Amino acid sequence: MSWWETVRSGLAAIRSHRLRSSLTVLGIVIGISSVILTVGLGQGAQKEVKDQIDALGSNLLIVSPGSSTDGSGVRGGFGSASTLTYADASAIADRDVVPDAAGVAPATTSSVSLVNGDTNWTTSLVGTTTDWLAVRSRGLSAGRFFTAEEAAQGAAVAVIGPDTASELFGRQSPVGQQVTVNGTRVTVVGVLTSSGASSSGSSEDDQAVVPVGTASRLTGSTSDTVSTIYVEAASEDRLSAAYQEVRALLANRHGVTTADADFSISTQDSLVETANETNRTFTVLLGGVAAISLLVGGIGVMNIMLVSVTERVREIGLRKALGAAPNVIRRQFLVEASLLGLTGGLIGVLLGIVGAQVLPQLIDQAVAVSGLATVAALATSLALGVGFGVYPAGRAARLTPIDALRSE
């Protein structure tokens, strides 16, 4: 009996019991589609997190002040002190001192109310330098960024985020229009592109970026301290070197050791790793549930194949009496089990791909279809069919012709 005849015989046996075969395949379909969607959700979440963190700036070091302690001894959290200054940022920008830094952008942050006619909106006011746009890897959807001359003069100009523009101006173009901040008229010269990211609890798309001098005048601040210093490394490979250089420089300037530093430095890599570790745990958990579904599907295949062997005992006996070898009988039932597993795998993969297109619209979560996971799922379904079909096939092959022909 050739392989083609064996496959054709297996398909005929499956078609002769359509309902039973469909219910058997259902368990594998559920398991395979669950695997596809589980891996897709995990990879989609990792990609989404990476995109959001990349939107904060490429190869970025974020230097924040340390913690403060009030008169009663109560210590604040990281960032509550005023230990970073513009002089610190200027020292970091010195290529002789920090050769692995490509750009430095100090920033002050405060909350202000912007007024446009009868409309007002409270947002984050960021005072920074002209390097901020490049260091933070942000772009402009309209207008321009403020110039070095405007920064030096403390000109009353601002670049606002897309959410801020939408709240204040609706569908109108904000470029060239003015808003009032604490009684001062400020001209909007540009609108940032959307990053979809957030930093320090605030949206990166809801802010107004102004020159440092302008921010000081609008808020009435006379301090030279900054909220954050953003440092862009020259390349991803030099990020670690830039980290060490900045850390050593600030420790020396502030007269502290790295053990009791009055500042903290975070990197994008650490944020990505933390987020991905959480996503991996989530993926493994859901993957375990999917594996249980596959196990149940495999047991279903074994059960149906045992029933099929029992029903076809006389057929097996007749074929053996006519000269069919045990390996031929074994091969026939293994092929039937493999066809059931492969059919379930193909349908499961198809449903998984369809689910990956539909699910993001229902749960607002990206689902990435992995080619490797798809191939692995198909291989697993085939392996399930073969693995759980071995015992029924072996049982059929061990039947003796005389006993099989005598059975009722």
What DSSP line would sit under 22-54, residue for residue?
A: HHHHHHHHHHHHHHHHHHHHHHHHHHHHHHHHH
Cα 153 to Cα 116: distance, rounded to the nearest angstrom: 24
Say whether both 330 and 231 belong to one domain: no
* Same domain assignment for residues 187 and 295: no
Instruction: Give pLDDT tens digits for 385-405.
Output: 778 777 777 777 776 766 655
Same domain, 375 and 331: yes
How far apart CA 234 and CA 100 sit, in angstroms, is 5
Helix, strand, coil % (nearest 5) of the chain?
55, 20, 25
Examine the domain organization and report whether 293 and 249 are in the same domain: no
Q: What is the pLDDT of residues 309-335, one digit of tens each?
A: 777 777 767 777 777 777 777 777 778
3-class DSSP state of 326 = helix
* pLDDT tens column, 164-189: 999 999 889 999 999 999 999 999 99
Distance spanning both ends of the chain, measured CA to CA: 26
Are residues 101 and 175 located together in one domain of the fold?
Answer: yes
Measured between alpha carbons, how far is 404 from 318 in angstroms, rounded to an integer? 8
Three-state SS for 154-195 is CCCEEEECHHHHHHHHCCCCCCCCEEEECCEEEEEEEEECCC
Quick one: CA torsion of 378, 379, 385, 387, rounded to 10 degrees? Answer: -160
Write down the mean pLDDT value for the chain. 81
Least confident among 245-259, 338-352, 358-372: 358-372
Q: What is the pTM of this model?
A: 0.59
Residue type, 87: A
Cβ-Cβ contacts under 8 Å for 307 (sequence gap 6 or more): 20
> Are 194 and 305 within one domain?
no
Q: Could you tell me if 186 and 326 lie in one domain? A: no
Q: Same structural domain for residues 139 and 14?
A: no
Residue 179 shares a structural domain with residue 214? yes
Specify if 324 maps to a domain.
Answer: yes
Task: Specify whether the CB–CB gap between 150 and 127 falls below 8 A.
Answer: no
Q: Does residue 302 share a domain with residue 192? A: no
Residue 74 within any structural domain of the chain? no
- 76-120, pLDDT tens digit by residue? 444 445 789 999 999 999 999 999 999 999 999 999 999 998 999
Run of H or E residues at 379? helix 371-398
Asked if residue 149 is part of any domain, the answer here is: yes
Would you say residue 94 lies in a domain? yes
In a domain, 77, yes or no: no
Give me the domain span that covers residue 184. Answer: 84-261
Find all residues with CB under 8 Å of 123, minimum gap 6, and list them: 111, 112, 114, 160, 161, 164, 206, 207, 208
For the stretch 347-393, pLDDT in tens is 888 988 888 888 888 877 778 777 777 787 778 777 877 787 777 77
For residues 348 and 375, the answer to whether their CB atoms sit within 8 Å is no
**Amino acid occupying residue 355:** G
Domain end among 228, 261, 294? 261
CB-CB neighbours of 130 under 10 Å: 16
Band (pLDDT 50/70/90 cuts) for residue 12 is confident
- Rounded CA gap, 28 and 379, in Å? 12
**Looking at 201, 233, 261, which one is the last position of a domain?**
261
In a domain, 75, yes or no: no
252 domain-assigned:
yes
| Other residues' Cβ atoms within 10 Å of the Cβ of residue 97 | 14
Indicate if 286 and 382 belong to the same structural domain: yes
Of 240, 261, 282, the domain-final residue: 261
Compare 222 and 321 and report the one with higher pLDDT.
Answer: 222
Number of structural domains (the chain) is 2
Q: Are residues 310 and 388 in the same domain?
A: yes
DSSP state of 367: -
H or E segment at 228?
A: strand 228-233
Give domain status of residue 79, yes or no.
Answer: no
